[in-house]
Structure 1
Amino acid sequence: MSKSYVVEVENLTKTFSGKEVIKQCDMHVTEGTIYGFLGANGAGKTTVFKLLSGLLTPTMGEVYVLGKEVSSQRHSILAEIGTLIETPLFYEHLSATENLKIHLAYMAKDHGDIASVLSKVGLPHTGAQPVSEFSLGMRQRLAIARAIIHQPRLLILDEPVNGLDPVGIREMRELFLDLVINEQMTILISSHILSEMEQVADEIGVIVDGQIIEEVPLSSIQQQFPNGLEPYFFDLMSGGK
């Protein structure tokens, strides 16, 4: 495991019912950066995230997160990562604050500035309101709050701005950049909103049919494709590279 990589994956393969859904993937996420993970629906992004988080076990290959092998050291990694993968689940009858308190206890963290984090994600005055009354956008904000409340070193975020309006998307963009710059987090993020990826990502990884086919600095893409990520992405999808 290279010291500069927070995530390092070699020859990662995952098979379900005899079918390879992740195929010999290599991935490298540099410490202190935002890695934008792109791919069409069904390409394997969420499965990769679950493998990195220890929610799934690889069929083959090596997965290192924060210098530790995930399959054998998952429990020692958990408190150092924050995740938002698929639809977030909460204790519906409890408030946002109570949900975050439970998460901190689960992570064995005896501190966490819940009020500050709720303010950062745009939920400063939810009080005793139960999560069952939250809108889709509010639930997504709470999921992001839960991912960062224990101050992880690595965030793994699968479509984190789903359900947010344009104002909310901009607020989360600013939050992600702040977390990297001021709280020394590293972020691995997937999104279908390519324009958002252009504004936050340092590196881009692209997965096609279960295989990561390219990892490249965003600056290199911008030099070759001055009109942005969209022409780059569709060029890859069409086999142009």
Structure 2
Amino acid sequence: MSDKWIVETDKLRKVFDGVEVIKDCSMHIKQGTIYGFLGMNGAGKTTVFKMLSSLLSPTSGTAKVLGIDITSHSSEVLRNIGSIIEVPIFYEHLSAAENLQVHLGYMNKKNIDIDKTLETVGLPSRDMKPVSTFSLGMRQRLGIARTIIHQPKLLILDEPLNGLDPMGILEMRDLFLNLVRNEGMTILISSHILNDIEHIADSIGIIANGKIIDEVGMAKIKSKTLNSSLEEYFFEKIKEKLEYD
């Protein structure tokens, strides 16, 4: 793996039924950082996430995750990432702990402390209620628990804070920062709530109409040169793109 990039794509494309949904998409994510992936609805964020997670095959271009080509070594990629993409799906008749146990079996991981992981995301470890009784916020917490329990190197999180109350959002932001600083993980995260990204991201990428139009460090956005909030910067870049097109 490159010392610099844990995720690297070059001219990535995805075509569905003759329509180019992702076009000339180049992304660069440093190891041990949080990368905020921003875009309007339908911009292509989830499609990119699915390609990086080997759930979709690119039409053309290249993508490496952990230095591994996602098209030729997808099983190796999957062992080393945790992901929430769209709505997390669970075995509804099983408890939170039982769902995590099934996931660990699938990942061929043993001797993992399930109770500790549940407590980390704010779920009671001894609660045997089926997931079918969980609130949206509890399901989202369980989804996050499932992404981290097998100790992956990269997290790919598509709107992971949906359904959480303000305290839950704060707790998860702190968790993500801890995972990067103390557990050595890297996080690729999307959110429509730009304030959440602004608080935790080291850098951001903005996608519009299937193409990444900007990658920039948060430090630069907040610098004296730009002196912008993330919201101001994001809408300025989207406006420039619309005017250019």
Common fold: TM-score over 0.5? yes
Aligned to 2:10: 10
Asked if 1:238 is matched to 2:239, the reply is yes
Equivalent residue, structure 1, for 2:79: 79
TM-score, normalised to structure 1, is 0.97
For 1:129 and 1:225, the matched residues in 2 are separated by: 50
**1:126, distance to aligned residue in structure 2 (A):** 5.3
In percent, how many aligned pairs have the same letter?
Answer: 59
Please tell me the residue identity of whatever aligns with 2:82: G
Write the letter of the residue equivalent to 1:167. Answer: M
* Equivalences, count: 241
SS in 2 for 1:71: coil
Letter in 1 for 2:97: T
* RMSD between superposed Cα atoms in Å: 1.2
Distance (whole Å) between structure 2 residues aligned to residue 189 and residue 183 of structure 1: 17
SS of the residue 1:139 aligns to:
helix
| Residues in 2 aligned to 1:227 and 1:34: alpha-carbon distance in whole angstroms | 19
| Counterpart for residue 68 of structure 1 | 68
Q: Kindly state the Cα deviation for residue 124 of structure 1 after the two structures are TM-superposed.
A: 2.3
Provide closer, same or farther for how the CA distance between residues 126 and 194 of structure 1 changes in structure 2, counting only shifts above 3 A: farther
Give SS of 1:196's match.
Answer: helix
In structure 2, what is the equivalent of residue 201 of structure 1?
201
SS state at 1:169 partner: helix
Deviation at 1:112, TM superposition (A): 1.5
Aligned to 2:168: 168
Alignment of 1:154-193 (within 5 A): 154-193=154-193
| Equivalent residue runs for 1:1-241 within 5 Å | 2-125=2-125, 127-223=127-223, 224-239=225-240
CA displacement 1:48-107 (0-9 Å, x = unmatched):
000000000000000100111001100011111000000111000000000000000000
Distance 1:78 1:108 in 2: 12
Q: CA deviation at 1:227?
A: 4.3
Structure 1 residues not aligned, in runs of 5+: none
Q: Output the CA distance in 1 between the equivalents of 2:125 and 2:186.
A: 28
Q: Which of structure 1's runs of 4+ aligned residues deviate more than 6 A?
A: none
AA aligned opposite 1:229: L
Answer yes or no: is the 8 Å Cα contact 1:3–1:67 preserved in 2: no
SS in structure 2 of the partner of residue 189 of structure 1 = strand
How has the CA–CA distance of structure 1 residues 227 and 126 changed in structure 2, closer, same or farther, with 3 Å as cutoff?
A: farther
Deviations 1:107-146 (A, max 9, x none): 0111211111101101024511100000000000000000
Deviations 1:137-175 (A, max 9, x none): 000000000000000000000000000010000000000
Q: Is the 8 A contact 1:177 1:200 kept in 2?
A: yes
Q: In structure 2, how many angstroms separate the alpha carbons of the residues matched to 1:65 and 1:231?
A: 31
Offset of 1:15 from its aligned partner? 0.2
Instruction: For 1:38 and 1:79, locate their aligned partners in 2 and report how far apart those are by CA, in whole Å.
Output: 26
Looking at structure 2, the residues matched to 117 and 77 of structure 1 have their Cα atoms a distance apart, in angstroms, of 22
Q: What SS does structure 1 have at the residue aligned with 2:73?
A: helix
| Structure 1 residue 3, shift from structure 2 partner | 2.6
Give the alignment's TM-score, normalised by structure 2.
0.96
Looking at structure 2, the residues matched to 227 and 113 of structure 1 have their Cα atoms a distance apart, in angstroms, of: 42
